[in-house]
Structure 1
Amino acid sequence: MPVWRNGDWEYDRYIGGKRFRRRLGIRDESYKELAIELSRRDFEKAWEQILNPVPTFAEAALLYMKHTGNRRYLKRIIAYFGKNTRIDQLDEPRILRAAAAIADRRSKETGKMWQPSTIKCQAIAPIKAVINFIKGTRRERRARRVRDIYLTPAEVEALIKMAQTPEKAGVHDKHHRLLKIIVFMVATGCGPGETFAVNVEDFNWSTNEVYIPAVEDGAGKTLFRARWVHLPDKAIALIGELPKSGRAFLSSRGNPIPLRDHGGGQIAKQFRKLCRAAGLPDAVVPYTLRHTWATFFSAQVGDHDRLLDQGGWGNSDTARDYRKKYPADLAEQLDAFGWDFRRET
C-alpha cells in the first residue's frame, strides 16, 4: 500500500527480492484511491519484469560486442542510455530521439555537425543491431559477390595514357570523351550511371565540386547517392573542356549516353579494349573505378565518415566492401602520380 509522506504518496517495497521505491507525484492526500491504483499497476509491471526479464540496452550491447566483436560506436550509445534502459522500451521514436541527442552532443564536442548518413551509421544502425541481436532477429550477413580488385596508381596512369591515345587500342575517340569519363569516375567515385547523368550545370567550378542528384532512373540507387563530390586538381586538368550545356560526358560519337539500371555496359566494349591495351586484368570493368576511388580516398584521407558521404553510401559495411586492402605507401604512390584527394573542410 502507498503511504502519504512529505507531501506526496509513495511506495517502498520488495518484490522478488528487488526493491521498488517511487514517489507517485500525487500531492493531494485525498487522492488515496488514485495512488493505490498507480502503485498496483507498478507492481504488476515489476512482477512482469521479474517473471519475464528483459535485458537492459547496456546488457544487450555487452553480449552483442562479446559475440560479434563489433564495438564500433557503442560506447557513447551505452553511456547515453545508462544502466537501466531496457530493450523493450526502445521503440522507433525513442531510437530517433536518442540518435538526435547523441549527434547533437557529439557535434558540440567536435564542432562539426553530423550529416544524416552519419547519424544513421553511428547511432541508429548500432542501436538497431543490438536490439535485433538480443531478440534473435539479427539478419546474418550473407556472402556477397564483391569485386576484390582495384587499380593501383600506376595502373590508373596506364589506363589514362591509353585513353589519351585510343587509336593504339583500336578505339575511335578522337575527342577523348572516354578519357573524361574514366578520369571523372576515378576522381569522384561516381558509378557509371551517375557519371552519364551529370549535366554541365551541375558543376560548381568555384569549389571544384559537382552535384550528383541521383534522381533519374539509372543514375543512382538510393537516396544516399545524392551528394556533392569533389574533383582533385589533376582530374580537372585531364578532363579539360566540356560541352557548353546538357550532359557533361558523352559517348565517343558525341551523343548523350542512355541511362539504364546497372550502368556501365554502354561503354564496356571500348573500355575493355583500352584496359587490354594498357595491360590491365580482364576482370577490370567500369565499376572497378568506383572501388579504386574508395581505396585511394581511404589511403590518402582516412576519414570513414567522409568516405560514406562522398561515396553516397548509407551503410558502413558497404563502404568497407568498396575500400580494399592497400599497402602502407599507397598515399605516397598517389602523391607521386599527382593525385590529391585531401581537402580542407
Structure 2
Amino acid sequence: MPGSLAAAREAWRDWLKSERRLADHTLVAYEHDVATFLGFMTSYLGAPPTLDALARLKPAEFRAWLADRARNGLARPSTARAVSSVRSFFHFLDREKLAHNASIGTLQTPRLPHAVPKALSEADMDEVLEAESEREREPWIDKRDAAVLLLLYGAGLRIGEALGLTKAMVEDLLGAGRDTLAVTGKGRKTRIVPLLPQALEALAAYRDACPHLAALAGSHAFFLGARGGPLDPAIVQKRVREIRRQLGLPDSVTPHVLRHSFATHLLGAGGDLRTIQELLGHASLSTTQRYTDVDAARLTSVYRAAHPRAKAR
C-alpha cells in the first residue's frame, strides 16, 4: 500500500485507468488538475503537502484554492472538472485508508450554464459532406476524410471511436455484407450502430484506394495518415476547419458537432430519445435529453417564421 503522496498519486492513476477505465485524455486532465491543486497547496501551506497534511485541510483552504482559480480567470467548466478530479483523488485516499478528510464534502462545484449542443442544419451538413479539398492531395486521402466524416454524422460516432476502428473490423464488416458495426465507446461499453449505405460505400472506396492498408495486419488502425501510421485526430480537426472556412460556417463547428447534428436530425425526424441514447452510447438519458432543447429551438424558429399571427405586426 502506498505510504507517500507520490506513491498514492501513482496508485490513484492506476485505479482510474484500470477500474474507472477513463479515456487517456481524461486521465491526463485529472492528473493535471490534482497536480495544480497540490501546487497551490504547496504555496498556501508553505511546504509540499503530505498525506497527513491533506487529511487536515479545512474548508477555508479548499475555498482559497477555488478563489485563486477565479482570480486567475479560469473558466467555470475548467474549475468544475478540477473539483471533480480533486474529489476523486480524496475519495481514493479515503478508500485506501491513506487519508480521510471530511471537509472535501463541503467543496461545491461551480454552477454551469445549461449547455445545448450546437448542430448544423441538414443543408449545411450536406455541404460539409460534399465539400471538396481546397488543395491538391492524394485521392485516397480525400476518400479517407469522406469516410471519417460520414461515420461521425451518419453513425454518430465520436472521433476517437471512428479512428479506433481496426482493419480487421472493417474488413469483416464489408466482407460479410453487414450494415451494423460494434463500437466500443466510453467506459469500454460496446454498442451496435447501423451504417448508411453511403458510409459503407465510403469505407470500401477508401480501403480500395489506400496504398498502405494491404500490407498491414488486421489489428492495425483502419484509418491511416499520409505516411501510413494511424490517423491523428488533429488531422480530422484540421480538415473540418478547412471546410468551415470554405463554407463560411461558425468557429463552433468541430468534428463533434457532426455527432450532435446526427442526434438532432434524428430527433427532428421523429426518433425517440431512448433509441438515440443507445445509438450515441450515452450512459444517462439526461445527457441525450439536451437534444430536446435543440429541437424545441428549431421548432420555435419555424413556428415564428410560418404562423400567420406570429408574422403579424
Q: What TM-score, normalized to structure 2?
A: 0.49
Q: Which has the higher contact order (CA 8 A, sep 6+)?
A: 2
Q: What TM-score, normalized to structure 1?
A: 0.45
Structure number with higher strand proportion:
1
